[in-house]
Every structure is written in C-alpha cells, then in structure tokens.
Structure 1
Amino acid sequence: MKSNRPKVLHEIAGRSVLGHVMAAVTKVGAAEVSVVVGPDRDDVAREARNIVPSAHIFVQRERLGTGHAVLSAREALERRPDDVIVVYADTPLVTAETLARLREPLAKGAAVVGLGFEARDPTGYGRFIMLGDELLDIREHKDASEEERRITLCNGGLMALRGDVALDILDQLETKNAQKEYYLTDAVSIARRLGHRSAVVIASEEEVHGINDRAQLAAAERMIQERLRQEAMVSGVTLVAPETVFLSHDTQLGRDVVVEPHVVFGPGVTIEDGVIIHSFSHLEGTHVASGAGIGPYARLRPGASIGPRAKVGNFVEIKNTELGAGAKVSHLTYLGDASVGADANIGAGTITCNYDGFGKYRTEIQDGAFVGSNSSLVAPITIGKGAFVGSGSVITENVPDNALSLGRGRQVIKEDWATEFRDKAKAAKHQSAKKV
C-alpha cells in the first residue's frame, strides 16, 4: 500500500477494510471471534475490539504462511467449536450470507469447505482440483502443473473446517512447497488423507476481491458503492445519477428520499422519508427529519439535526446544531453549537461566533425569530421568541422575546457628496496630466 497505515485499516464506504469483514462475521452469528495480527500491531487489535469488544487477539510473530497464521490462534481451536470459518481481513466484500453458506456442507458431513470462484484470469490464484462435486486438493499457482493452470475454478481464500477435526488437520501442515510456507490450502489434501471429504461453495469473483494496493482499494470502493446504491434504490430511494452519489456503510435513507447528483454521505447519516438532497451536498453524523430540503452545496457536519420541513440552502454549513421544524437557513450561513427554533428564519451571511480560541459556546435562537442578513451572533447568547435582529448586526447580548435588536453603526447621509468627490478626482487627474 506504500502507507504508514496497515492495509486493513484503510477505509472503504466510511469503514475500515477490517471492519467490513468483522461486521459480516458478527452478522452471521459467530459465537467467538479470534483475530490474528502481526507483531506490534496494537492499532489493528484496537480496531478489531472496537467492532467486536469480545474478540480474542492472537499475534503471529513470524510470517510463515496462511496455515501458520491460523495456528497462531491455537488456543481458540483447542476449544473445539462446532465450526471454524477462516476469513481474511483484506477481503472486505464477503457477505454474511456467503459465510452462512460455507457452513452448510459441514452440517452434511464435510470436514473442509473451500470458497471458490470462476476467474476471468486465473493467473496467480490457487486452483480447485475437483472430482465431481468433491474437492480433492487446492494447488497453489506456483506449484501447479500446466494442465492444472488451465483450471478456472479458483480459490477465494476463505475456508470452513469442522470444529472437531480442525486442529487435527491443521497440525499436519508442512512446508514442502515452492514458498516453504505452511499453506492453509493443504488442509484439503490432509483431510482426504485422514478419510474426510471436502466440498466447495461458489461465490462471485467480486465478492472475494482482495486488496493489496491502492488500485484494488479503489476497485473495492467502487464495488461496495454499487452494492449500497442498489440497496438504496430497491428500498424506495431515488438516486438521480447513482454513479455520482457516495454512501457510507451505515447510511440510512427513508422512502421517497430524492438524492440529486454529486452528493456524499459520510458515516452516521440518517435521512427520514420525503427528504430531498440537492446536488453537491456533503453530510456526516447528521439526522434529517421528514420533508426537509438540503442544499445544493450544503455541508452538514457531525451533530447536525434538521427538523421536519426545515430548509438548509446553498453554501450553508451546520455543525452540532438543532434546526427546528420549518426553520429556514437558505444561504451563505454558518451555524455551530446552536439551536434554532421552529419557523425561525436565518438570513444570508449570518454566523454564530461559537469559538474564542479556547472554548465552544452555544447560541439559542428561539421559535419564530428572524435574524437579518450579515449578522454575527457572539455566543453564549439567546435570541428570544419572535425577536428580530437587524441586518448587519453584531449581537453580544441576549435579545428578549419579540424585541428588535440592532448592533451596528448609525447610517449617515451626506447630500451631493458623490458629485463633489467625482469633480475633485477629475480635476486632480487633469492637473497631473498637464504636468506630464
């Protein structure tokens, strides 16, 4: 990856690659989760426990192959669970449904189940050696014969083993191969030698897509976005130009939501029914109630809560602020650490001055208040119910209900000043030209 971050902590759809895999494992109902990490990878262990707090962490001190990695979790294997499913942290598109299918042949007597796929280009992949529907062996590409390399049914990496025999099989792994490593794939031939049968479950090539570089990371992002967009549209969401909308893994969109082109959803966004989100808006950590309108060019940051039928217009930024039902913030405004009451109107160019370099302070704008354009509200401050703030004001004191507050210099008018100014300017310019 050419990165300071471990590969599995890079993100797709607002979640780490590892997070996607562990979410699938959790969804399938695993009773116990063990995560094998490299030495000094506390960051990976922390991420694993953020998702599954009860996860057991095991360290693989030496990189001696996939089989060696699994055996690093020997303590978990010694508990002889019903089934063991081995997943890879850099294969984030695998679904819980596929993990459940991997268990089915085990219930019918198989000792080992490999997850396979039909490869468009099998180069580099391990090949499934089949006899009918039985898996006889998995041959790594470097160890395969020319005939075996023509096989297109390839190893997707994931594997399931029956818990009562898993450790017996894995303990017989050897390093008699081109890379001198303990291959997990040898479990198939070992199981056969011990008199057990192995089976295959087929997945799509997309689902077993692994990540080894930035290009493959981008490909995974593209594929998961396509999946998320399809799920959204099936559930009753209109995506006007789906390929331009980017969703997070946890984006929740209600019925009859309309999302115009070029909208980005970060993590933690819930949109209720009937909301329209106009083009070029960015939302993160936000709740938008039914019937509201957002954008275009709106930015909703974490803690933004937009009430029913409220309006957030173009070039408006909202952070840690509640916007009441029917309130309007139509353009060119920043609201941070604030609450805005029902049916209040915030004029263009208004800002809440919420930070003094040391602390954050709140602004409360109550129901029905009207804040004129180009106003600065210096927190902490309260604008009362039905109160008016005159345009261009700097407000530093609380405004009572139904009062008018003005905080600006008095306007002065000088009759004919512009005419005199122009005449003097022209005369000076003429005099300067004569000297030249």
Structure 2
Amino acid sequence: MTARRSCLAVILAAGEGTRMRSSLPKVLHAVGGRPMVGHVLAAARSAGADRIALVIGHGADAVRKAVGALPGETEVFVQEERRGTAHAMLQARAALEHGADDVVVLYGDAPLVRPETLERLRARIADGADLVVLGFEAADPTGYGRLLMDGDRLVAIREEKDASAAERAVRLCNSGILAFRGLHVLPLLDAIGNDNAKGEFYLTDVIGLAAAAGLSVGVEIVDEQEVLGVNDRAQLAACEAAFQARARADAFAAGVTMIAPETVFFAYDTVIGRDVVIEPNVVFGPGVVIESGAVVHAFSHLEGARVAGGATVGPFARLRPGADLGTDAKVGNFVEVKAAKVEAGAKISHLSYIGDARVGAGANIGAGTITCNYDGFLKHHTDIGAGAFIGSNSALVAPVAIGDGALVAAGSTIVEDVPADALAVARGRQAVIPGRSAEIRKRLAALKAERKAAKD
C-alpha cells in the first residue's frame, strides 16, 4: 500500500551535541561501525522514502561531506539559528513544498529505528490518519514528554515540567518520530508559535493544532530500545549495546553459533551464513561476509573481508580490507592478511603477513613469512602459485612471482621470480667449524673472571 505513495523523509540533525564533549558532530559518532545519521538514512530509504531532506547545523561541512559519501541522494538544508525543532523542519521548506503523500520526521541521533516501524507509520497515514506519533512505554519516563490519549486518539504531548502529578504517572512517552499526511505539513508548521519560556518553535505543538483542526491523530507504539536517542557518551554506549544485542539475536536466528555471544561484536553490514561458528572475543568491522560452514576462532578481528565456506580464521588473526579466503583455506594464529586472495585449501598457519598478494590453491605458507609489498612509495603484488611451499621465515620482496609447485627454502629473501616446480634458496651458506664453540666459551669465561678480579 505504501509503495504506491510518495514519501519525503525529513531528518533533523542540527543539534550541537555539547554533552558529547567532542569535536566530531554528534550524528557522525558511530554505532555498529556506521555514523548514526547513516543508520537513519538507510532506514528511511528501506521504508520507501523516495526523497530525503537532511537538516544540519553544527559541523555542517563535516556532516555534508560524510552524508555525501553514503549511498543515495540527500537534499541538505542548514539551520543557521537554533530556534526549535519546528523551526529546524521549516528549513526544509523547499522540499516540503515539492509535496509528498507521506512526510516522515526522523532524528539523526536515534539510529535504531527499524524500517518496518516507519512502514507502519506510513500505513496508518494510508489508512486515513492525518498525523501519527511514534511512542513507547518507558521503564522510567522521567524527562520525556508524555502522550496523553483519549481512547485511541492522541490529544496532547505534555512536557514533564508542565505536567500534572497524574500526567507524570503516564508511561507512554514521545519518541519525537512522527508521520504526516503530506498536505497538512506546512499549514501545521506555519501555525506553530513561540510563546514559551525559550521563545522556540516546538514540533510537538502540531499535536494540539491538529486536534483543534479536527484532524485524525494517532499513536504507534514500539519498544523503548528502538527509539533510543544519543546525547552523551554513556547513551552512545547504551545505543551500541542495543545494536549489538539486536545483531546477535539476528545471527542466532540465521543459524550462527556463538560460544560467548556477549563478546562478539558486529558491524551494521556484517553477513554471516548458516552453521558458521564464532568463538569468543571476535570483532567484525564493516564489510565482512562469512559464508556457511566457516569457523572464526577466538580473538580475531575482521574488516572488509570475505571468508568462504569451510575456511578457518584465527585464533588471534587479523583480516584487513580486501582479504578474500577461498573454500577450506586457513589463516591461523597471529596472521595478518590484507588485499590478498587466499585460494581454496591454501594455508597460512601462523606468524605471517600476506598483503597485496595471491596465494594459490593448496599453497602452504610457513611461519614468519612476509610479503614485502611496500617500497616506501608504492604497493607491489606478490603472486604465489598453486601448490607452492614457502619455507618459514621467508621474505618475498614484491613485485615477485612464485610458480605453481615451487619450493622456497626456509629463511630465504626472494627478489626474483621463481619458476614452477623450482627450488629457490636465497640465504648464506652454513659453515661448521669443529671445536670453535668450546674455544669461544673458554676465552669469554677467562675475560669474565679477569674483569671480576679487577672490580674486587
């Protein structure tokens, strides 16, 4: 039903966020690896908003730049003076005048609202409501505006300082998120006055104006955690905790095993397949895909990486952006992989760095191997063929290629290509001198005794 209706989402993100004690604009602080405002933009688009107006203020240049890097088109408006939420919304007058069947108002510091919830608001408008407010039952309503109902009809939003004792006992509270029938938005906003202690224009005043005009005003209720707002670092941490709890629940529902779920941290776009096992203390940064049947061992950190089915990662492994592990590949303990394709069945078992490289199918990389990919100015590629064996403590100085089935002797520094099935040895020849160790020990013991006698 809502898919056939046009929708404008107005996101208010002009607050200064002084309680964050940060030089970074509040809405750019991250939850689940994505700026809060990015979550809100994504939810609006997923709920069918075909146009988005973002009202910004503090840190406008930084917010504009960050939003410009996110997917989708966003109209940006600047609130130069802070004169209340209704005043902020009217900064997007040009977008509002363009018209829309539905207008949804969101906040850039409330990143957990679900697209399904916004679709419910839009469905209420499509079913005949003129204005719908998103409310929640607060465990502790202190500080929130109370939603005062007459049956199913919302008649007022009462701020706590203005509420009676009976009204303060009401636990149904205002999230600030609401949806309008588009044709009513500007008349209601233009009717809001600023006859109050702060001289500001409050968006909540639309409820009384709409009721006085005989419009249909309703409430949609969600869980309190979904509408958590962020004003300080403690609330940011609480929001992150709520996001992670949701992500873990989604992972369990998708068939993922987590040994200690409270120690596993997901990003906003983490994709985990069925029958994946995740051990304790694993962190997923943005851009990770783990395919069915893979195992991520404890204390591993993954970002921008793909892990195919049957592959194993860790413990204590780091996959950086561009790491791509094939089926049944192994990246073991204290291994770092960056911008490298590790093909099916290849093994990098321990204590190695593989960057800007290809490791061919079935290859074996010995402990302590590194690809020397950076010359101080440019990155260079290392190509390791299928079935190759790289001995422990080898340095492969890129650009260099190791052919299929080649063997690099332990401790070698390889600076030239190695043909397929060849053996490369690039280290000093070992020399054995019988009895020399005993001579050295005798000489050093005498020197030590001489220095001790002189000291005494």
TM (normalized to structure 1)? Answer: 0.97
User: Structure 2: which amino acid aligns with 1:405?
Assistant: A
Give the distance between the partners of 1:45 and 1:114, measured in 2 at CA: 28
Q: C-alpha distance in 1, partners of 2:145/2:198?
A: 13
Deviations 1:306-333 (A, max 9, x none): 1111110000001111111110100000
The 3 A distance-change label for structure 1 pair 416 and 177 is same
Q: 1:19, 1:137 → 2: CA distance? A: 31
Tell me the distance in 2 between the aligned counterparts of 1:50 and 1:26: 16
- Please name the residue that 2:277 is paired with: 258
Q: 1:427 to 1:79 in 2, by over 3 A?
A: closer
* Deviations, residues 270-329 of structure 1 (Å, cap 9, x unaligned): 111110000000000001111101100000000111111111000000111111111010
Q: What is the deviation of 1:429?
A: 3.4
Output the amino acid matched with 1:390: A
Aligned position for 2:250: 231
Whole-angstrom CA distance in 2 between matches of 1:151 and 1:226: 28
Evaluate the alpha carbon distance shift between residue 429 and residue 46 of structure 1 in structure 2; reply closer, same or farther with a 3 A threshold.
closer
Contact residue 14 and residue 248 of structure 1 kept, 8 A: yes
Over 3 Å counting, the alpha-carbon distance change for 1:426 and 1:174 in structure 2 is: same
Q: What residue identity is the alignment partner of 1:333? A: S
Cα gap change, 1:60 to 1:429, in 2 (>3 Å): closer
Picking from 307, 311, 320, the partner of 1:292 is 311
Contact 2:405/2:421 (CA < 8 Å) preserved in 1? yes
1:21 — aligned with what? 40
Q: 1:342 Cα shift?
A: 0.6
From the superposition, tell whether residues 413 and 267 of structure 1 become closer, same or farther in structure 2 (CA, over 3 Å).
same
Contact 2:24 2:59 in 1 (8 A): no
Which stretch has the larger CA shift, 137-146 or 259-268? 137-146
What does residue 62 of structure 2 align with?
Answer: 43
Match in the other structure for 1:331: 350
Please give the alpha-carbon distance, in whole angstroms, between the structure 2 residues aligned to 1:113 and 1:417: 91
2:194 is equivalent to residue 175 of structure 1: yes
Residue 95 of structure 1 corresponds to 114
Q: Does 1:150 align with 2:150?
A: no
Measure the CA separation in 1 of the matches of 2:357 and 2:242: 38
Give the corresponding residue for 1:112: 131
Aligned equivalents of 2:123, 2:453: Cα separation in 1: 100
Distance 2:67 2:452 in 1: 78
Question: What is the CA-CA distance between 1:50 and the residue it aligns to?
Answer: 3.0
Q: How does 1:282-321 map to 2 (within 5 A)?
A: 282-321=301-340
Per mean C-alpha deviation after superposition, the further-off stretch among 48-57 and 410-419 is 48-57
Q: Distance in 1 between matches of 2:176 and 2:22?
A: 24
Structure 2: give runs of 5+ residues left out of the alignment.
1-19
Please tell me the residue identity of whatever aligns with 2:285. G
Q: Secondary structure at the match of 1:128?
A: strand
Q: Report the CA distance shift for 1:434/1:164 in structure 2 as closer, same or farther (over 3 A).
A: closer
Partner residue of 1:125 out of 119, 144, 156: 144
Residue identity opposite 2:102 in structure 1: D
What are the within-5 Å matches in structure 2 for residues 177-256 of structure 1?
Answer: 177-256=196-275
Separation in 2, partners of 1:278, 1:13: 21
Calculate percent identity across the aligned residue pairs: 55
Moved over 6 A (4+): none
Structure 2 Cα separation of the partners of residues 86 and 166 of structure 1: 11
Q: Secondary structure at the match of 1:185?
A: helix
CA distance in 2, matches of 1:37, 1:210: 17
Match runs of 1:66-85 below 5 Å: 66-85=85-104
Deviations 1:55-85 (A, max 9, x none): 1111112111111111111112212310111
2:45 alignment partner, SS class? helix
Give the Cα separation in 2 of the matches to 1:40 and 1:255: 42
Q: Secondary structure at the match of 2:161?
A: helix
Flag the 1:81–1:430 CA change in 2: closer, same or farther, 3 A.
Answer: closer
**Kept after mapping to 2: 8 A contact 1:22/1:52:** no
Compared with structure 1, are the counterparts of its residues 208 and 423 closer, same or farther at alpha carbon in structure 2 (3 Å cutoff)?
same
State how far apart, in whole Å, the 1-side matches of 2:209 and 2:300 are. Answer: 56
Aligned length: 436
1:364 — aligned with what? 383
* Residue ranges of structure 1 left out of the alignment (5+ in a row): none
Structure 1 position 433, deviation (Å): 4.6
Task: Look up the equivalent residue of 2:191 and give its one-letter code.
Answer: Q
- Of 281-290 and 176-185, more deviation after overlay is shown by 176-185
Q: 1:423 aligns to what?
A: 442
Distance 1:288 1:52 in 2: 25
1:5 is matched with which residue? 24
1:273 partnered with 2:273? no
Give the distance between the partners of 2:284 and 2:186, measured in 1 at CA: 44
Contact kept, 8 Å, 1:287 with 1:306, in 2: the verdict is: yes
Separation of aligned partners in 1, 2:114 and 2:357: 41
Q: What displacement does 1:372 show?
A: 0.4
The superposition leaves residues 22-45 of structure 1 with CA deviations (integer Å, 9 ceiling, x where unpaired) of 111010011211111116602212
The alignment partner of 1:373 has SS state of coil
Q: C-alpha offsets along residues 367-400 of structure 1, whole Å, 9 cap, x if unaligned?
A: 1111100001111111111111111111111111
The SS at the match of 1:191 is helix
Report the counterpart of residue 404 of structure 1 in structure 2. Answer: 423
Aligned to 2:11: none
**Structure-1 residue corresponding to 2:5:** none
CA drift at 1:88 = 0.5
1:54-65 mapped onto 2 (5 Å cutoff): 54-65=73-84
Residues 332 and 349 in structure 2, CA contact (< 8 A), matched pair in contact too: yes
